Structure formats: C-alpha cells, structure tokens
Amino acid sequence: MSDLSFLPETNWRCGKCGEKLTPRITNVEYLGNTFTMELLACEKCGLVLIPEDLARGRMFEVEQLLEDK
C-alpha cells in the first residue's frame, strides 16, 4: 500500500485519547457491502473520524441505494 495520502493535513485529535488523527485505509461495511476508504483514525485506539460532508453526502447516497423503500 502506498504511503501517499489524499487527505488534507488537519489538527484533529481523538476525543477519547487526545492522540493525533492520521490517515488510515479503513474498511467500512454497510448492509453486507464493504467499502475501502482512507479516513482519519486515532493512532492509539483506532477510532475513525467520518467527516460530516461524507456522512451527509456519499454515505447517505449509498444508504439510499441499499436500503429498502
């Protein structure tokens, strides 16, 4: 896996441990579908930050596609 990151530099820190968040390749699973994405995660506890624009944007669109009507 490349060390190149497409995420902008941020000052986000983990709310639980106070550690710096760093980009990490993460598997996101929803209704049996797995998506691989680069997200900011805590180096210590692994807590992942899902930014609001992702949650309200593409993740919401995927939810709409996969959920029942």
Partner 1 sequence: MTTNMQPFSALQRGHGSGHGTESVCPVCLKRIPARKIRRGDDVVLAKQCPEHGDFEAVVWRGRRPSFADWTNAKTPSYPERPRTQVRDGCPYDCGLCPEHQQHTCTALLEITSRCDLGCPVCFASSGEPERSDPDPATIRGWFDRVREDGGECNVQLSGGEPTMRDDLPEIIAMGRERCFGFIQLNTNGLRLAREADYARKLKNAGLSSVFLQFDGVRDATHLALRGRPLNSAKRRAVDNCLEAGLGVVLVPTVVPGVNDEELGDILSFALKAGPLLRGVHFQPVSYFGRYPAPPADENRITLPEIMAALERQTGGMVKVEDFSPPGCEHALCSFHGAFLRTENGDLRPAREAKRSCCGGPNRIEPHPAAEGARKSIGYTARQWAAPSCSCATEKPSDSLSMFLEQAQTWSFSISAMVFQDAWTLDLARLKECCIHVLSPDGRLVPFCAYNLTAADGRPLYRRRP
Token readout for 48 is 């992942």
Please answer whether residues 21 and 12 qualify as being in contact, where contact means their C-beta atoms are separated by less than 8 angstroms: yes
Q: Is 67 in the site for partner 1 (CB under 8 A)?
A: yes
Kindly determine how many residues on this chain lie close enough to bind partner 1 according to the rule CB under 8 A.
Answer: 20
Q: Dihedrals φ, ψ of 39, to 5°? A: -135, 160
Q: Is 36 in the site for partner 1 (CB under 8 A)?
A: yes
Using CB under 8 A, pick the residue from 47, 48, 49, 62 that binds partner 1.
62
Task: State which of positions 4-33 bind partner 1 (CB under 8 A).
Answer: 6, 28, 31-33
Based on CB atoms, which residue is closest to partner 1, 18 or 52? 52
The structure tokens 């596609």 sit at 65
Token readout for 2 is 């490349």
Token readout for 25 is 């390749």
Based on CB atoms, which residue is closest to partner 1, 9 or 67? 67
